[in-house]
Amino acid sequence: MGWKEAAEPVLTRMPAVKRPEGHVPFKRKLAWTAGILVLYFFLTNITLLGVGEGATDLFGEFRAILAGEHGSLLQVGIGPIVTASIVMQLLGGANLLGLDTDDPRDQVLYQGLQKLLVIIMTALTALPMVFAGGFLPVQQQPLALAGIELVGTQIQLLMFFQIFLGGILILYMDEVVSKWGIGSGIGLFIIAGVSQKLVAGFISPSAEGFFYSWYQIIFTDEVVVDGIIAGDGLNTLLLNEGQIIPLLTTLLIFGIVVYAESVRVEIPLSHARVKGARGRFPVKLIYASVLPMILVRALQANIQFMGQIMHRVGGAGAGEPIILFGMELPWLGVYADGQPTAGFFYYTAPIYSPEDWMWWTGEVIGNPEVWQILVRITVDLTFMVIGGAIFAIFWVETTNMGPKATARQIQNSGMQIPGFRQNVGVIEKVMERYIPQVTVIGGALVGLLAVMANMLGTIGAVTGTGLLLAVSITYKLYEEIAEEQMMEMHPMMRQMFGKE
């Protein structure tokens, strides 16, 4: 008996959101999407019971792409979902699972296995956050709950249960949006988090707010005067209080993503039975979308997560190397202010902002050597470009966007490529001329854009990757809403494109 037969009773009984029977009206889809979005914001504002002061956000720099909110019920965000997706794509890409996604039975097993992995990853992510110490410290005084006083380990168990529950909730919220709403829950949560930070970055009435900072510069001049006296007037205007470069980077990312989404190769199609019915199949430059970037950044986040745990568990202090089994391992990592400043975990840490690499400003944490900073930039760039291309290929194959699946979809819709025989194999060969090459180029381009945007900084400190994801997902969501409206106005098109 193989693993599929042994695991089938468990995987097929995993709780799931029921698929709608028949067509879901556009207004109802919009209502479900809006309802889940409101629920998401509500859950991010529920503070964990029992958490003390001085908590450290393990995913602080990755919040823009992992969503959720530190210290809230959605502490882990979409991290476990993304991590499980990485594992499944790697196993599927290496054909280690032996699952045929074209077989309905194997599809159910694949989805059940991925859901089980999400549940396991949620528990594995929550455990060190609560029990490793320092990440989510327990409040000192006893916690009264339903007439019972909880202390120490009891509070930690309660916190673990809350985080675990939040991870499961976000899993099924994503499933509700995917089946009953518009787009995907993961994309929706990323847009919500990034938009919130972006708006706050513009209108916040503090030194972090763009408009408030310029109000200070224009009407009080204190910021500029202090910067010039300190000999740092240009940096003050371009990077710090003035935020000119982050503003330009933000606008540039918007422009580049919208332009890249419009660059496409259009393959002409004609209906085999309806004379005069023509269409086009667009192969976009960013064919795999920017969602594979979530997988790349999540992989980096998990690497840094391991480094933070090793640093805390080993008991190393600030400026000291990681200690494992009583041995100092400076080659593995040295930490200061919660950030790696040397070793493997430093070189594999993504560039988050200009302060991470502009050594001439003297603001880089740990004051590393110039060659160390250059190595870190090279590793980050290589990781993002190559990782973006690889995960884009995996994404296309696992989401039925590859040449074979696309050819079958075109054939089933009754369309064909003019001048070619109406045959799946022929259509597949035409698609193979474009889809694999465009997928690799688009994935590498998105990775390059993400690194460059991070290096220059953005408004609201949402990170370049987060902004890139938000703009692209929003554009895709706009296209899906337009498509849904068109299907609603012309019901026959739902049958033609297999939407009903």
Q: pLDDT by residue (tens digit) across 129-187?
A: 888 765 788 888 888 777 788 888 888 899 999 999 999 999 999 999 999 999 888 88
- Is residue 264 located within the same domain as residue 344? yes
Q: Is residue 134 part of a domain?
A: yes
- Is residue 172 located within the same domain as residue 300? no
Q: What are phi and psi of 469, to 5 degrees?
A: -65, -45
- Is residue 253 located within the same domain as residue 171? no
CA distance 319 to 335: 5
Is the distance from CB of 137 to CB of 54 less than 8 angstroms? yes
- Is residue 256 located within the same domain as residue 172? no
Collapsing DSSP to helix, strand or coil, 475 comes out as helix
Residue ending a domain, among 166, 182, 198, is 182
pTM here is: 0.80
- Is residue 50 located within the same domain as residue 154? yes
Q: Is residue 465 part of a domain?
A: yes
- Is residue 168 located within the same domain as residue 253? no
CA distance 390 to 87: 14
Residues 6+ apart with CB under 8 A from 127: 160
Q: Is residue 249 part of a domain?
A: yes
- Is residue 326 located within the same domain as residue 465? yes
- Is residue 31 located within the same domain as residue 145? yes
Residue ending a domain, among 182, 197, 220, is 182
What residues make up the domain containing 291?
Answer: 245-500
Q: What is the pLDDT along the chain (500 residues), one digit of tens a residue?
A: 577 788 888 888 888 898 888 878 888 999 999 999 999 999 999 998 888 877 777 777 778 778 888 889 999 999 899 888 888 877 876 677 777 766 778 888 888 899 999 999 999 988 888 887 657 888 888 887 777 888 888 888 999 999 999 999 999 999 999 999 998 888 899 898 888 888 888 888 877 788 888 887 777 655 555 555 455 555 666 666 677 888 888 898 888 888 888 888 888 887 766 666 677 888 888 888 777 888 888 888 888 888 888 887 766 555 678 877 778 888 888 887 778 888 899 999 988 888 888 887 777 777 888 899 999 999 999 999 999 999 888 888 877 788 888 888 888 777 778 877 778 888 888 888 888 999 999 999 989 988 888 888 888 878 778 888 888 888 888 888 888 877 776 665 555 454 55
- Is residue 172 located within the same domain as residue 250? no
The CATH number for 464's domain is 1.10.3370.10
- Is residue 349 located within the same domain as residue 434? yes
- Is residue 149 located within the same domain as residue 284? no
Q: Is residue 221 part of a domain?
A: no
Number of domains in the chain: 2
Q: Is residue 187 part of a domain?
A: no
Q: Is residue 222 part of a domain?
A: no
Q: Is residue 29 part of a domain?
A: yes
Distances (CA, A) of 93 to 68, 100, 393, 400, 409: 29, 12, 9, 13, 22
- Is residue 30 located within the same domain as residue 154? yes
CA distance 111 to 173: 16
Q: What are phi and psi of 301, to 5 degrees?
A: -65, -40
Q: Is residue 201 part of a domain?
A: no
Residue with tokens 């200690």: 323
Residue ending a domain, among 162, 182, 202, is 182
